[in-house]
Amino acid sequence: MQISGFTVKYAKTKAKRRKNEELTLQNKTNEFQLSLERNPNNNHAQNKLLAAKLCLQTIMHFKTKGVILRSK
């Protein structure tokens, strides 16, 4: 019984952390896009935007794999 409780608590904490990371990345992506709209020649913002989008793709891939697994 203790193992089950610990596992559920750990999984919820990990899911909240992942969700917060996703929201942070989405906010950063929006900020970098606004920055690029104001100054299209900003290479630093372009690189940061691409890195944030790559991280978001990784998270979306992980979520997709979870949905596929649960649908079986």
Output DSSP code: residue 1. -
> How far is the C-alpha of 46 from the C-alpha of 56, rounded, in Å?
15
Domain ranges of the chain: 2-71
CB contact at 8 A, 44 and 32 = no
pLDDT tens, 5-44? 899 999 999 999 999 999 999 999 999 999 999 998 989 9
pLDDT at 72: 78
Q: Answer yes or no: is pLDDT of 61 > 80.
A: yes
Query: What's the CA gap between 19 and 32, in Å, rounded?
Result: 20
Those residues whose C-beta lies under 8 Å from the C-beta of residue 7, and which sit 6 or more positions away, are none
* pTM of the predicted structure, to 2 decimals: 0.80
